[in-house]
Amino acid sequence: MIYIGLTGWGDHDLLYTDDIRPRDKLAEYSSHFPVVELDASFYAIQPVRNALKWVKDTPDTFRFVVKAYQGMTGHQRKEIPFENKEIMFQAFIDSLTPFQEANKLAMVLFQFPPWFGCNRENVNYLRYCKRMMGEIPVALEFRNQSWFYDKYRESTLTFMKQNGWIHSIADEPQAGEGSIPIVPVATTSDVTLIRMHGRNFHGWTKPKNADTNWRDVRYLYKYNEKELLDWKNRVLEISKETKDIIVLFNNNSGGDAANNAKEFQHMLGIEYEGLAPKQLGLF
């Protein structure tokens, strides 16, 4: 099965009426898509009460891809607000309980930063992360090109297969060391993740401190029909290797993610069952 969704549910104006309350957006989002990426968990480990609300707001068949906390992936390079890493990991795992109990946790996404290169220390850290997460399904996405250098590519994929990491395949600008190529390979037979970041080369390479709207520029991109058709063919090929595929569109700086996701769904001829009823269709 191919599940198509977006990263986050707050900023996709196409999906909502002007008068919708922020607290009601997830329920309405879940009338359009069967899966979402939860980004709030990257910035702070979320209280259980938040997860309980999100679970309650979505249909039984809905699934969350929960992004790993930044202290776990090395994005937070200052002192983490936990006594040690073990306590940090356990706090994050505890925050997942409502998703697990409702059977709504698709996976946890470990997206590592551009400075997380392919070396022995980092390979050992990946082993540590996998061990700490136990039986929770975890996806791995790199932002450092070295993992897919010719001399390491097969070893990286083999390592992911042997250690049970779900491959998070990225479509992103080809901008040197701080980006990775498209590697359309499944590393588990159960599920594969694809994240569509857009191809805005100049936005991707703009330094974070250059201006205040860095995020507004980084993901400013609209996929054209040919690019989506290319991905349709890739997805159909990958589906021969893995039972489920989750495709998340992250190109929302200009509000294009929802439109592209709808276009892609139409290209694949998918009609989802079990979505929440659309509010606009109730009257």
The per-residue pLDDT for range 129-161, each reduced to its tens digit, is 999 999 999 999 999 999 999 999 999 999 999
The reported pLDDT for the residue numbered 76 is: 72
pLDDT at 282: 37
Q: What is the pLDDT of residue 232?
A: 98
Predicted pLDDT of residue 53: 97
Element (H or E) spanning 108, and its range? strand 105-111
Mapping DSSP to helix (H, G, I), strand (E, B) and coil, where does residue 117 land?
Answer: coil
What pLDDT digit, counting tens, does each position of 253-263 carry? 778 999 999 99
Domains in the chain: how many in total?
A: 1
Q: How confident is the model at residue 283 (pLDDT cuts 50, 70, 90)?
A: very low
Per-residue pLDDT band for 217 (boundaries 50, 70, 90) equals confident
How confident is the model over 172-209, as pLDDT tens digits? 988 778 889 999 999 999 999 999 998 876 666 666 65
Q: What's phi and psi for 55, nearest 5 deg? A: -65, -45
pLDDT for 47 equals 95
Q: What is the pLDDT of residue 201?
A: 67
- Residue 77, helix vs strand vs coil: coil
Q: Report the distance separating Cα 37 and Cα 5, nearest Å.
A: 8
Q: What is the pLDDT of residues 111-120, one digit of tens each?
A: 999 999 999 9
With 90 as the cut, is the pLDDT of residue 13 above it?
Answer: no
For 102, the token pair is 């409702």
Give me the mean pLDDT over the 216-238 stretch. 91
Q: Greater confidence, 80 or 99? A: 99
Write phi, then psi, for 148 (nearest 5 degrees).
-120, 20
Residue 229: both structure tokens together: 């058709």
Helix (H, G, I), strand (E, B) or coil at 160: helix
H helical segments located in the chain: 25-29, 40-43, 48-56, 70-73, 85-95, 97-101, 120-133, 153-163, 201-205, 214-218, 225-238, 257-268
The band of 216, judged by pLDDT with boundaries at 50, 70 and 90, is: low
Domain ranges, residue 119: 2-282
pLDDT of amino acid 207: 66
Q: Is 63 in a helix, a strand, or coil?
A: strand
Residue 46 sits at the vertex; the CA angle it makes with 20 and 221, to the nearest 5 degrees, is 55
pLDDT, tens only, 65-87: 999 999 999 887 677 778 899 99
* Stated length of the chain: 283
Spatial separation of the C-alpha atoms in residues 96 and 132, rounded to whole Å: 14
* Rounded Cα gap, residues 53 and 67, in angstroms: 18
C-alpha torsion 121→73→113→62, nearest 10: 140
Least confident of 100-104, 171-175, 223-227: 171-175
Give the CATH number for residue 72. 3.20.20.410
**Among residues 197, 176, 195, which one has the least CA distance to residue 184?**
195
Residue 278: pLDDT band with limits 50, 70, 90: confident
What is the rounded distance in angstroms from the CA atom of residue 15 to the CA atom of residue 120? 45
